[in-house]
């Protein structure tokens, strides 16, 4: 087994105006998404740092949070600094949201979670409705609920574990 490299260099606060949008960022944020995230940030606040590659100076994750921070006049935003080569930066930029999007819904848990949210804010309600509607599709065949672990065998050493 190889240990994972820790590419995190540190954490800090930066003025959103000083953060450089990544020219390779391929995400476009709809008005519905912008409104929903803006409302969540107003009601809850920040719970995740923006990720900046210290080598290139470019943002790797958090472009919308930065745009909303500038729009609302935030003086600083939390940043996690990482050290990535240009090739590694491209991999991370292409994969962060994409890997998350590969997850399949547990529609019962999603419905329970959405019902537990107490808000009258229209943008959050619209976002929840959109998420609930888009996640009504049946899960893909290889999806496995977290409550039903299966044993996996390591192809190299034969050790068995439950993911």
pLDDT tens digits for range 75-107: 999 999 999 999 999 999 999 888 888 888 888
Q: Which residues of 62-97 are buried (b: 16+ CB within 10 A; e: fewer)?
A: bbbbbbbbeeeebeebebbbbebeeebbeebbeeee
pLDDT tens digits for range 3-59: 999 999 999 999 999 999 999 999 999 888 898 899 999 999 999 999 999 999 999
CATH 3.90.1530.10 fits 1-103, yes or no: yes
Does the predicted TM-score (pTM) go above 0.85? no
pLDDT of residue 108: 87
């Amino acid at each position: 087994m190889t240990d994972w490299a820790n590419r995190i260099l540190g954490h800090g606060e930066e003025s959103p105006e000083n953060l450089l949008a990544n020219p390779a960022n391929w995400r476009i944020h709809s008005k519905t998404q912008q409104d929903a995230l803006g409302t969540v940030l107003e009601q809850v606040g920040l719970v995740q740092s923006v990720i900046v590659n210290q080598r290139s100076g470019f943002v790797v994750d958090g472009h919308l949070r930065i745009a909303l921070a500038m729009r609302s006049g935030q003086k600083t935003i939390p940043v996690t600094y990482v050290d990535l080569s240009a090739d590694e930066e491209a991999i991370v930029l292409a994969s962060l949201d994409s890997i998350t999007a590969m997850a399949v819904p547990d529609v019962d848990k999603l419905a329970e979670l959405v019902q537990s949210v107490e808000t009258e804010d229209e943008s959050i309600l619209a976002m929840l409705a959109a998420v609930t509607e888009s996640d009504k599709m049946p899960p893909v065949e290889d999806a496995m609920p977290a409550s039903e672990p299966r044993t996996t065998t390591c192809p190299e050493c034969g050790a068995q574990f439950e993911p």
